[in-house]
Homo-oligomer: A and B are copies of this chain.
């Protein structure tokens, strides 16, 4: 019998407890032994749970229990998760985490502590919820050089954009609906502004390229700026809008990494992935493109990934099975300014004719778009390949031409 503890009895932590109890017979049959929850750490008071006797408010009850070999961390955030995780790994316990913020900020250090202490630190649930992605990249695509990883990594924003596209809701209406349905948290800032997707693409890129990449190194923008006008312009050229996280190895050996709303062609495998689903496309030099799709969040899908990690640690006996990567060397990530893409821009111009001339003169291969009921002062265009810095410089030039940039999206290749 393997004894485990759970830290944090929120949505994910309670899901883990529920799933371990519900499928205990199946799990025991599969791994040849049972998994028993010994302790649950949470500072809050709970009622009406069949396992109230397991609760403790004292971390030491877990740390000092020598029978507990695996600890689940679903507290979230850095404090106290970071210190707790370090202490547990150093004391010879394996840790399973759904905490993307902690992995994205401290993954290299925690993986290295795990390796030193010959225990495992696994975090399949930190990206894609229940979608198997970290272990498949680490295990199943291990023979490949990863050319790129590109995906819809946040279910909340994908739900919002899908509702704007399919039902014509405004951004605010779609966000309200997402909150109603429990898909968006009370404070959805990290989802909307791209921070959540940023952490996830950092974890995937660190894994794929073997070197820790920090969220602050990522070129990030969110979906706050998206309006129905942008959805219409996207549709006019056979595209949908998705919040995309993408990491790509460049010919110069650097990694280009960004989180940004994007025009995605309807012919792309990502285009039809709607609602709260996540989809991750991985291109390997041998395997070609592989796509993983599933529910990117939610109590039971996320618990499914956490419990899978527990099972794999128990199965592995004393073997070190953690993925791992090296600390950041500070120079693997391509500078934001050098980010190259085709862009979509929507501008508001006091003098449309003057603005069009400005566009034709300054942007590479501009193509003007049009939509029904387009206001006279609205100009939308796609560009050829340009640097992020070139786009920025042109925006600074705008003022003299009485132009305001309303939206800037990339066009996904």
Contacts and interface: CB of A to CB of B under 8 A. Distances in A.
Interface of A: 19-20, 22-23, 26-27, 29-31, 124, 130-132, 135-136, 139-145, 210, 269, 272, 284-295, 298, 300-301, 303-305, 307-308, 311-312, 315-317, 319, 321
24 contacts: A20-B143, A23-B285, A27-B142, A27-B143, A31-B142, A130-B284, A130-B287, A132-B140, A132-B290, A135-B136, A135-B139, A136-B140, A141-B304, A142-B307, A142-B308, A142-B312, A143-B308, A286-B303, A286-B307, A287-B300, A287-B305, A288-B300, A291-B293, A291-B294
A296 to B, nearest CB: 11
A208 to B, nearest CB: 11
A210 B30 contact: yes
B135 A140 contact: yes
Given A27-B142, A135-B135, 17 more contacts: A23-B143, A23-B286, A27-B143, A29-B210, A130-B288, A132-B136, A135-B140, A142-B311, A142-B312, A284-B304, A287-B304, A288-B294, A290-B292, A290-B293, A290-B294, A291-B292, A291-B293
B304 A19 contact: no
A328 B289 CA distance: 36
A141 B125 CA distance: 12
Most chain B beta-carbon contacts within 10 A, residue among A29, A303, A321: A321
Contacts of A317: 319
A139 B312 CA distance: 7
A304 B286 contact: yes
A139 B137 CA distance: 13
Contacts of A286: 19, 23, 130, 300-301, 303-304, 307
A287 B298 CA distance: 9
Determine chain A's interface SS by DSSP, over half rule.
mixed
A297 to B, nearest CB: 11
B23 A130 contact: no
A32 B298 CA distance: 37
A311 B130 contact: no
Contacts of A130: 284, 286-288, 290
Contacts of A293: 269, 290-293
A198 to B, nearest CB: 24
A140 B304 CA distance: 8
A124 B140 contact: yes
A406 to B, nearest CB: 32
B304 A23 contact: no
Nearest to A133: B140
Contacts of A305: 140, 287
Nearest to A31: B142
A22 B144 CA distance: 10
A242 B319 CA distance: 43
Most chain B beta-carbon contacts within 10 A, residue among A132, A287, A290: A287
B287 A140 contact: no
